[in-house]
Amino acid sequence: MRGRDTWVLLATVLGSSLAFIDSTVVTLALPSIQREFHASAGDVAWIIELYTLVLGSLMLLGGALADRLGRKRTFVVGCTLFAAGSVGCAFAWSIPSILAARVLQGMGGMLFAPASLAILGAHFTGDARSRAVGTWSAFTALTSTLGPMLGGVLIDSLGWRSVFWINIPLAALVIAAALRHISESRDDNAPSRLDWLGAGLATSGLAAITYGLILASSAGWRDPAVAGSVIAGIAVLLLFGAHEGRSRAPLVPPDLFNSRTFAAINVATLLLYGATGGLFYETPFAMIQSHGYTALEAALGSLPMAIGLIALSRFAAPALAKRIGVRATLSLGPAIVTCGALLLALLEPQPSYWVAFFPGIAVVGIGMGITVAPLTNAVIGAATPRHVGIASGINTAVARVAALLAIAALTVVLAATYDRSIAHELDAIHAAPAIRAEVAAQRDRLGGAHFGRPQIQRASIDAFNAGYRSVAIACAFLAALAALADALGIDESTLR
């Protein structure tokens, strides 16, 4: 590989990693943030959800901007905004202040994340592109591994704010490499107008649904605000779909989804990334709050997931796709993820890591390692050359939106299971009304609740673990549906 090609890969890998590992690293910091600000589970969920909302819902706009204004320019501006948001997070003095800074981070991420893959698609062609995408997937996984490990060290030694400061030198390196080595590329036939209304409708609809789901975890489904938010969100998303069909410059070109293969890949992406996003949002909470792990130990505990991605993405997964076909590979990977999630559902109240967490995390890593590179390459291959930017933006947006909705919905599942389990535990010990009132007062903190009586603390931890097992089962179901969507929907003859 030529020197310039290496620098292009370095810039795009580090750039995309900044956007995607941020949620993982910040998830490790959430228990510390929750303690410092005395926040509820819903409050800290918004730290991840608001970032993912902006990143996911506006990713389509970011892809369109990259195609129209220039992929290099969009990439550099996005990295700059992300760095500014990181500074804001590091100086945050309250939950609202950190949320405002997370919005700025999300706006930066929605620009440079789709641009990074579009730059690869424009710079490389043929087999070189396939190898580049495999390398991008493998090294993105590597940085995704080292990032949380470094984050764990920083959180344990310097506090949670340090995980935001570390973004600044990384963003500076990415910007310098991009300015020097990446050539500008764009879609010269792209319309000059941008679909701002469509972007607003998509963001509003997803925000309303997310708000309703997060509120449901504390207020319950009978609260009128919950049903109203979810219904309104669905209505706005339907309006978004109708608007896109009539727009002269839609965020989502209708002809892209005329391809059954492109549609199937994105449905499978929604299901699979919903499964893994929800699962690995809750896993650090289970490790840290229920089982006493440090942030670094929780990061190291997730290492088998990344090892599977690194070991398989670069060579094994593309070779497997060539040998058995893209459709078979993209069906096999999610099926393996299903098995991994089911293994995590076997979690016992006081397990060792090697019994409870390692087998499931390792198997999920193998499944994702088989899936990620062929899926990414198939998305690019299912689109026409001039739609590479928007196609990668759509698929990346689908992955982010999947995590957004899954985290909100699975938090409801966890909370409902927690409520049933803690009620059963309190009934079993004939808890006095004062104890029940104490539990109810901290109910919205879930695994972060602290009680003076060891018996009640143990009951709360057991209830959280029961909720985690329910989440793992739900994630296994989503991954199985993803395997089915790939098996039924992909037509390999349409891939270029």
What are the extents of the domains in the chain?
3-184+249-420+465-494, 195-248
| Residue bearing tokens 């804001």 | 88
Interval 372-416: pLDDT, tens: 878 877 887 776 666 666 677 688 778 878 888 888 888 889 888
Of 404, 444, 406, 415, residue with least CA distance to 207: 404
Architecture of domain 3-184+249-420+465-494: Up-down Bundle (1.20)
| Rg of the chain in Å (alpha carbons) | 22
pLDDT, residue 444, reads: 66
Q: Which residues contact 155 (CB under 8 A, 6 or more apart)?
A: 28, 29, 32, 162, 163, 295, 296
Interval 306-353: pLDDT, tens: 788 778 876 777 788 888 888 889 999 999 999 999 999 987 766 688
pLDDT at 485 > cutoff 90? yes
Sign, Cα dihedral of 304, 307, 311, 314: positive
Interval 242-273: pLDDT, tens: 888 787 777 777 777 777 888 889 999 999 99
pLDDT, residue 194, reads: 74
Interval 133-142: pLDDT, tens: 667 766 666 6
Mean pLDDT of 78-95: 91
Question: Which residue pairs, CB below 8 angstroms and at least 24 apart, start in 355-362?
Answer: 357/283, 357/287, 357/301, 358/301, 358/304, 360/472, 361/283, 361/301, 361/302, 361/304, 361/305, 362/304, 362/305, 362/307, 362/308
Cα gap 243→197, rounded to integer Å? 9
pLDDT, residue 350, reads: 61
First to last CA, the chain: 23
Which of 72-81, 260-269, 288-297 is predicted least confidently? Answer: 288-297
| Residue bearing tokens 């994630």 | 475
Q: What percentage of the chain reaches a pLDDT higher than 70?
A: 85
Calculate the average pLDDT of the chain. 81
Spell out the alpha helix ranges (H) of 430-453.
Answer: 433-441
pTM of the model: 0.79
255 burial level (CB within 10 Å; 0-12, 13-18, 19+) = exposed
Q: Which residues contact 120 (CB under 8 A, 6 or more apart)?
A: 8, 9, 12, 129, 132, 133, 136
Interval 89-138: pLDDT, tens: 999 888 999 999 999 998 898 888 777 777 776 666 666 666 776 677 66
pLDDT, residue 35, reads: 83
pLDDT, residue 385, reads: 64
pLDDT, residue 476, reads: 97
Which of 54-63, 117-126, 177-186, 357-366 is predicted least confidently? Answer: 117-126
Identify the band that residue 363 occupies on the pLDDT scale cut at 50, 70 and 90.
Answer: very high
166-181 burial: b if 16+ Cβ within 10 Å, else e: bbeebbeebbebbeeb
Enter the DSSP assignment of 442: T
| Residue bearing tokens 């495999």 | 134
Helices 433-441 & 454-489, crossing angle to 10 degrees?
50
> Looking at this protein, which amino acid is placed at residue 267?
V
